[in-house]
Amino acid sequence: MVDKKNRLTTSSGAPVGDNQNSITAGRRGPTLIQDVHLLEKLAHFDRERIPERVVHAKGAGAHGYFEVTNDEISKYTKADFLSEKGKRTPMFIRFSTVAGEAGSADTVRDPRGFAVKFYTEEGNYDLVGNNTPIFFIRDAIKFPDFIHTQKRNPQTHLKDKNMVWDFWSLSPESLHQVTYLHGDRGIPATYRHMNGYGSHTYKWVNEDGEKFWIKYHFVSDQGVKGLDEKVADELAGTNPDYHTEDLFNAIDKGDYPSWTLYVQVMPYEDAKTYKWDPFDVTKTWSKKDYPRIEVGKMVLNRNPENYFAEVEQAAFSPAHFVPGVEASPDKMLQGRLFSYSDTHRYRLGVNHEQIPVNRPVNETNNYQRDGYMRVDGNGGSKYNYEPNSYDHLPKEDESTKIEPFEIEGVADSMPYSHADHYTQAGDLYRLMSDEGKERLVNAVVGHLGQCTMEEVKLRQIGHFYKADPDYGERVAKGLGLEVPAEVKA
């Protein structure tokens, strides 16, 4: 007799008598359909996979906390979780690569996702960023095409450098991020040795209704370190889970990684006149113009108990704001406000917010009901409509409305008015040491060299040249080509 507490059961709780031998008619079978434990076991196994994330499919997660270290930050935002020095908020983070599938190698050259969920007392605040302060494109309408070029060729099912560089060379706004990606930060040493950025501009609103534009920077307390491309390539073969393993082991042995959060704060009116469009995610703001202000510290101190439950089912969304933090008009951010919760409804279902890792710590209270996998009591006997005459039913709180803001212009499909894609990419190049430039050029040549379309290579060389003639000349030389005369003219 097995202790009752330790008994193997079916999912309806009935004890299982034999988990090694199916019930057969005679010793040789066939198998009887009345072996309901066998049927349930196979049927559940058949449904174990859910759709992987369409991007950022490979990742690792951890729990931790965020603690405010600067009392002054409430000058800029009324966000409750940032209201006072010493305030701690539990959080969960997921790091990821972008283009690879769920089982792909960690050490590839790719941006890394840096998705943070703060479980605040006023609901979850998700800051879904990357380890790069910029992005390849600046309008959500281009994202599905861009990602198609990063994924697999529709016929060969191979990664396709022609698709990648064709798209990039025809989308010069990508040049800044292409340069960043092929530099030393393109392959982080570990998830612990990289910074995180909100990338977009967000809006903060304080208690007096004053508005500010802000950018988030999580600076790694472990330092920023890259991985040599050769070592990274080798690791992709010998230990494709290198970064996942590193994060788990560090936390497991009590070596808790941490990041210091800073913000750049831009006075609201400056957005009209700043030399860069502050809502263009392909550009940064100068730290001289808007110095970083410390906000607090994020510490990761607990590994997930179960990968699928906590990491695979984690659902981050840039649409998860809290009072005091609002969207900016950034056209990429605006698209993301739709896309994430939409993909979660597909991947995890309409009630995905009830999965423990996604559940806010405060009580949710609304008139939404029913749907697949509603597991929280569904509002019980409470009425499910509004307006109503009952004081005990949920009421809107006007004090949490967004801060009104003015808009201008005509509605149309329009590009951004700033079209200089070269200055900041060139500045980044010029900031690199001689060896850094050498590694960048080698990485570009190694990658672009696999593109077989000469017109694409020449077009892309033209972009590098316009960022910095030395950059263009060196890439051209590496590829055995000349910078096109019309670019030099």
Residues annotated catalytic, as ranges: 56, 130
| 102 makes contact with ligand HDE (CB under 6 A) | no
| 76 makes contact with ligand HDE (CB under 6 A) | no
**Residue located via tokens 């809107």:** 396
CA dihedral angle for residue 249, residue 251, residue 253, residue 257, rounded to 10 degrees: 110
Find out whether 146 and 173 touch, Cβ atoms under 8 Å. Answer: no
- Residue 38 one-letter amino acid: L
**Which stretch of DSSP H or E encloses residue 344?**
helix 331-347
Nearer to ligand HDE, 233 or 277 (CB): 277
| 350 makes contact with ligand HDE (CB under 6 A) | no
Q: Is the dihedral of CA 275, 279, 280, 281 positive or negative?
A: positive
| 340 makes contact with ligand HDE (CB under 6 A) | yes
Strand partners, 230: none
| 217 makes contact with ligand HDE (CB under 6 A) | no
Q: Is 268 annotated as a binding residue?
A: no
Strand partners, 188: 226
| 243 makes contact with ligand HDE (CB under 6 A) | no
| 70 makes contact with ligand HDE (CB under 6 A) | no
Per the structure block, which two tokens stand in for 25?
Answer: 């008619």
Strand partners, 261: 218, 296
Q: Kindly identify the residues of this chain, within the stretch 142-171, that bind ligand HDE according to CB under 6 A.
A: 143
Residue 127 C-beta: closest distance to ligand HDE, Å: 9
Stretch that binds ligand HDE, among 39-47, 256-264, 328-336, 388-396 (CB under 6 A): 328-336
| 113 makes contact with ligand HDE (CB under 6 A) | yes
Stretch that binds ligand HDE, among 112-120, 390-398, 407-415, 438-446 (CB under 6 A): 112-120
Fill in the per-residue mask, 287 to 316: x = in contact with ligand HDE (CB under 6 A), - = not in contact.
Answer: ---------------------------x-x
Interacting residue with ligand HDE among 90, 329, 335, 394 (CB under 6 A): 335
Nearest Cα to Cα of residue 128 among 283, 324, 323, 332: 332
Find out whether 459 and 169 touch, Cβ atoms under 8 Å. Answer: yes
**Pairing relationship of beta strands 325-326 and 202-205 according to DSSP bridges:** antiparallel
Taking the C-alpha atoms of residue 99 and residue 12, their distance in angstroms, rounded to an integer, is 39
| 182 makes contact with ligand HDE (CB under 6 A) | no
Residues forming the site for ligand HDE (CB under 6 A): 53-56, 59, 94, 96, 113-115, 128-130, 135, 140, 143, 199, 281, 314, 316, 332, 335-336, 339-340, 343
